[in-house]
């Protein structure tokens, strides 16, 4: 059977490997699946729910790097490294179920199955490109670029088109959570969001952002028109 690779998720080849696993873990909303610094002995595939991957520094600051959902892979940075620790923390934003597979078992499958090895190379390449574009927006356009870029990416990952042409981001976010995605402070995000609301670029209701002028945001950071599978938050 031909393998169809979806760039927003893992391939059918790797999905099959996890489906064969007899280990499924349930995690309540607000709990951690793994924490930064824990021994990286397992890889996870999300069966259902939403998970936030983040990095913390010694001062208690948090940087959100990805939001993962069904069919997304987590813990992959530990592969092919001995005695390795998780680089990020994975926290459930909703009730979550994950397939669990031992790291060494997956490594053996990659080495013995060229189809799985190829899919992992494609998958890693895609996430590398996503990371590059995120840092481009942050470095070239500073805090404003980080906030605008994050909102644009949110529309691609969670946007729902409304009758008036606006886009509702169907994921509630506090200003602090948004700041954690941008590597900034809540105060700076508050100021930038207030400016956008005054210009009717966005509106915010009960934590849900609606984007009324997406082109404005794109023009401000000289958006290069990357495909949605690259310009996304997951």
CATH code: domain of residue 98: 2.60.120.10
What six digits make up the tokens of 212? 């009324």
Domain boundary among 112, 147, 166: 112
Q: Is residue 125 part of a domain?
A: no
State the pLDDT confidence band at 30, using cuts at 50, 70 and 90: very high
Q: Give CA–CA dist 181/52, Å, rounded.
A: 10
Q: What is the mean pLDDT of residues 191-197?
A: 94
| pLDDT tens figures, 145-154 | 889 989 999 9
What residues pair up with 89 in beta bridges, in sequence order? 54
Specify whether 39 is located in the same domain as 104.
yes
Q: Are 215 and 151 in contact (CB under 8 A)?
A: no
Specify whether 26 is located in the same domain as 81.
yes
State the pLDDT confidence band at 39, using cuts at 50, 70 and 90: very high
Specify whether 22 is located in the same domain as 102.
yes
State the pLDDT confidence band at 1, using cuts at 50, 70 and 90: very low
Q: Which residue has the higher pLDDT, 19 or 179?
A: 179
Specify whether 62 is located in the same domain as 154.
no
Other beta carbons within 10 Å of 102? 13
| pLDDT tens figures, 113-144 | 888 888 888 888 887 888 788 777 777 778 88
| pLDDT tens figures, 48-96 | 999 999 988 766 677 888 888 888 889 888 888 888 899 899 999 999 9
pLDDT of residue 10: 65
pLDDT of residue 7: 41
Specify whether 101 is located in the same domain as 140.
no
Quote the domain boundaries for residue 63.
Answer: 12-112
pTM for this structure? 0.77
């Amino acid at each position: 059977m031909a393998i169809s690779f979806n760039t927003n998720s893992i391939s059918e080849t790797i999905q099959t490997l996890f489906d064969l696993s007899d280990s499924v873990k349930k995690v309540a909303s607000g709990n951690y699946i793994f924490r930064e610094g824990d021994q990286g002995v397992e890889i996870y595939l999300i069966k259902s729910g939403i998970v936030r991957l983040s990095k913390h520094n010694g001062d208690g600051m948090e940087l959100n790097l990805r939001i993962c959902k069904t069919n997304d892979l987590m813990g992959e940075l530990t592969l092919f490294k001995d005695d390795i620790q998780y680089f990020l923390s994975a926290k459930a934003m909703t009730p979550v179920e994950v397939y669990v597979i031992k790291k060494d078992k997956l490594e053996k499958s990659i080495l013995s199955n060229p189809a799985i090895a190829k899919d992992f190379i494609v998958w890693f390449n895609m996430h590398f490109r996503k990371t590059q574009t995120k840092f481009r927006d942050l470095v070239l356009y500073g805090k404003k670029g980080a906030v605008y870029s994050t909102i644009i990416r949110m529309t691609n990952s969670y946007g729902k088109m409304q009758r008036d042409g606006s886009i509702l981001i169907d994921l509630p976010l506090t200003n602090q959570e948004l700041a954690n995605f941008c590597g900034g402070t809540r105060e700076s995000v508050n100021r930038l969001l207030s400016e956008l609301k005054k210009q009717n670029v966005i509106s915010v209701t009960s934590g849900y952002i609606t984007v009324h002028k997406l082109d404005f945001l794109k023009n401000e950071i000289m958006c290069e028109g990357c495909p949605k599978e690259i310009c996304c938050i997951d």
